[in-house]
Amino acid sequence: MITNYFKPLDNNYKDKHSDSKWKKINVNESKDSVDININFHEDKIINIPSHCSTELDFFKLIFTDELFENIAKGTNSYVDLCKKKFEEQMEIEKEEYLNENPDVEAQQKYLEDFENIRDKNTNMISKYSNVYVNDIEDYFAALIFMGLYRLPNYRDHWSNDILLGSPCKNIIGIWKFECLQKFIHTYPADSVGKNKILPLTKEILKNSRKYYIPSTFVSIDERIISFRGRDQNLVYEPLKPTKYGYFNIILSDNKSGFTYAQILLDDYNKETNDNANEGKMFNAVKQLMNFLPKKFLDKDKFILVCDGLYTSEELMGERDFFTLGAIRGNRIKGENKKDIISNINEGESVIYKKCIKGNESTLVKFHDNKQFYIISNYIKKIFQIRIKSWSTKYKNWIHKNIPNAVNEYRKNMKGVDISNQFISYYELNFRTVRWWKRIFNEHIDVAIINSLCLFKKSGNLNITQKTYRLNLIKAIMMKNHPFKFVNNVKLDNLHLIKADNSGSRHNCKYCSERKSYVTNKCPTSKYYCNKCKIFLCVDCFYNYHEKIFNS
């Protein structure tokens, strides 16, 4: 069992049991090696409340009512703060004008205009206050729908044109939407810098971790949150689909793409930065892996899969989890480093072994379309696997042999990419000049994707992300506007009473069947049912259809 494989070691043992160079071995020696016995497990959900059945219930497990209340509270306090700053600025301008213009008549005229302008703007700002939780929910529903149905301008969603109109006008008015877009704020409203958004993002992921345990394979990769403003925290990644934005390090499940933890805006834990020699990325990986459930680690170990930006030899010495990753040539250490990074022919592979802090690690050098290195501390046996792969040289699919460690890396290094792909389909990419609002919208998407994973694991396997988002919008509309929205009902299927304006009248169907009339002549009516195509008295319309539906 792997529980007995890891034992606490002191620093003297680690230094004593670390080799100074990599040992080259042949394929036959590698085949004789024995892999570590790992108890693989699937991802699963835990502690889901029994009342959760709809999409909105699962979404509010992650984006809770408390978070909605804090946003409403922060928005109201931010409006009051803006009102106070506006009045202070007006008073400063008033004093400057009175000091520069001693003329009494000019001062009196200015004071009259000043009072009118101040009252007008103060009243306008006061209209933005009194924001409630329902308003925030409606704002979220409108944003989610804009991600599903994109138009050139956001105001087109409230257009009266039949080609541009959308249900947004039934969710929230454009005036209220623009007010919230301008003044929406996290709590407290006077927070500055990272504190504007980091408490909210941490709470979203903390709620996500309460209900989900990842599978054996987890991956760490970056996510770029798009933003083109001016900020010292922005990065440029020319090879990424999103080139400009905020660098976000993500820990996610490899199977579902569930975002489990993250490091945003260089928010590193100072306790993990005690060893600067091991590198910033090593400390980031350690901090993210500490979020994995400790009780679960006593039974099974997680396998971390990461690319060359995060993989280092120091990770191979960790005993809390296994590691599989691509490593850069300049991060390989040893006396025979020059021999290891020397070039080999296409299709060839070389195997090395080395003991790092008491853990035997395997390094595979392989040349596919280019030369790269795969390192692991749990794969001991290396053998060839035949796969179908795309060749950039021949521009076609070919069959070739690759080492099993390379195949294992390619198969499991996809968790964050799955999450990024899901978000990109219906992204809430609402343009804004305020940097923290871009991160705010991104984490609404993260909450939706995570709640979708929980919803699928609870038994709804066939639901798509598009359907989930639509049902989430409908649930919010039914909760806040039950009289504006009727779910899955078309007017063509309703029995409606209509009048025949041609002047002709016909016998009432219901009266003629019951023969309830006193005179010998059946009552006539100009009203008819558009669905049944029969004429009925106004008083008989309900009784006739009740009889049909109950029969």
Please state, in angstroms and as integers, the Cα–Cα distance from residue 464 to each residue in 230, 314, 402, 425, 491, following that order.
37, 41, 35, 12, 27
The answer to whether residues 525 and 535 touch, using CB atoms and an 8 Å cutoff, is: yes
Whole-angstrom distance, CA of residue 337 vs CA of residue 330: 9
DSSP designation for 522? P
Q: CA torsion sign, 271 to 272 to 275 to 276?
A: negative
Residue 397: CB atoms within 10 A of its CB come to: 9
**Exposed, middle or buried: residue 284 (CB in 10 Å: 0-12, 13-18, 19+)?**
buried
Tokens 């030369």, residue located: 371
Which pair of structure tokens corresponds to residue 373? Answer: 């290195």
Whole-angstrom distance, CA of residue 120 vs CA of residue 17: 77
Whole-angstrom distance, CA of residue 156 vs CA of residue 162: 11
Whole-angstrom distance, CA of residue 450 vs CA of residue 54: 15
Which pair of structure tokens corresponds to residue 477? Answer: 């509309």
499 strand-pairing partners: 527
- pLDDT bin (cut points 50, 70, 90) of residue 551 is low
Whole-angstrom distance, CA of residue 164 vs CA of residue 167: 10
Task: Say what the pLDDT of residue 494 is.
Answer: 65
Task: Mean pLDDT check: name the lowest of 146-150, 180-184, 511-515, 538-542.
Answer: 511-515
Tokens 């506006």, residue located: 86
The answer to whether residues 441 and 428 touch, using CB atoms and an 8 Å cutoff, is: yes
Task: Say what the pLDDT of residue 193 is.
Answer: 82
Any residues with CB less than 8 A from the CB of 315 and at least 6 apart, and which?
282, 285, 304, 323, 325, 377
* 507-515, long-range: CB < 8 A, 24+ apart: 507/535, 508/535, 508/536, 508/537, 508/540, 509/534, 509/535, 509/536, 509/540, 509/544, 510/536, 510/537, 510/540, 510/543, 510/544, 510/547, 511/537, 511/540
Could you tell me what percent of the chain has a pLDDT over 70?
A: 86
Higher pLDDT among residues 278 and 535, named by residue: 535
Would you say residue 140 has pLDDT above 90?
A: yes
- pLDDT bin (cut points 50, 70, 90) of residue 10 is very low
Domain ranges, ordered by start, for the chain: 11-41+193-405, 59-189+455-480, 491-550
How confident is the model over 377-406, as a mean pLDDT?
86
How confident is the model over 282-289, as a mean pLDDT?
90
CA triplet 48, 52, 53: central angle to 5 degrees? 130
Would you say residue 295 has pLDDT above 60?
A: yes
Would you say residue 362 has pLDDT above 80?
A: yes
Tokens 């170990």, residue located: 301
The predicted-structure confidence for 116-128, as pLDDT tens digits, reads as follows 777 666 666 666 6
Higher pLDDT among residues 493 and 77, named by residue: 77
The answer to whether residues 357 and 9 touch, using CB atoms and an 8 Å cutoff, is: yes
Which pair of structure tokens corresponds to residue 205? Answer: 């992921």
Q: CA torsion sign, 203 to 204 to 210 to 214?
A: negative
CA dihedral 243, 245, 246, 247 (to 10 degrees): 0
Which pair of structure tokens corresponds to residue 282? Answer: 């090593």
Which pair of structure tokens corresponds to residue 491? Answer: 């007017």
Most confident by average pLDDT, 9-18, 149-158, 288-297, 493-502: 149-158
Would you say residue 200 has pLDDT above 80?
A: yes
Would you say residue 3 has pLDDT above 70?
A: no
How confident is the model over 8-16, as a mean pLDDT?
45
The predicted-structure confidence for 252-282, as pLDDT tens digits, reads as follows 999 899 999 999 877 765 444 445 456 788 8
With both helix axes pointing from N to C terminus, report the angle between 435-457 and 415-425 in degrees, rounded to the nearest 10.
110
Whole-angstrom distance, CA of residue 338 vs CA of residue 380: 23
The answer to whether residues 12 and 357 touch, using CB atoms and an 8 Å cutoff, is: no
Identify which of 445, 440, 448, 462 has the alpha carbon closest to the alpha carbon of residue 61: 448
- 438 Ramachandran zone, left/alpha/beta (phi>0; psi -120 to 50): alpha
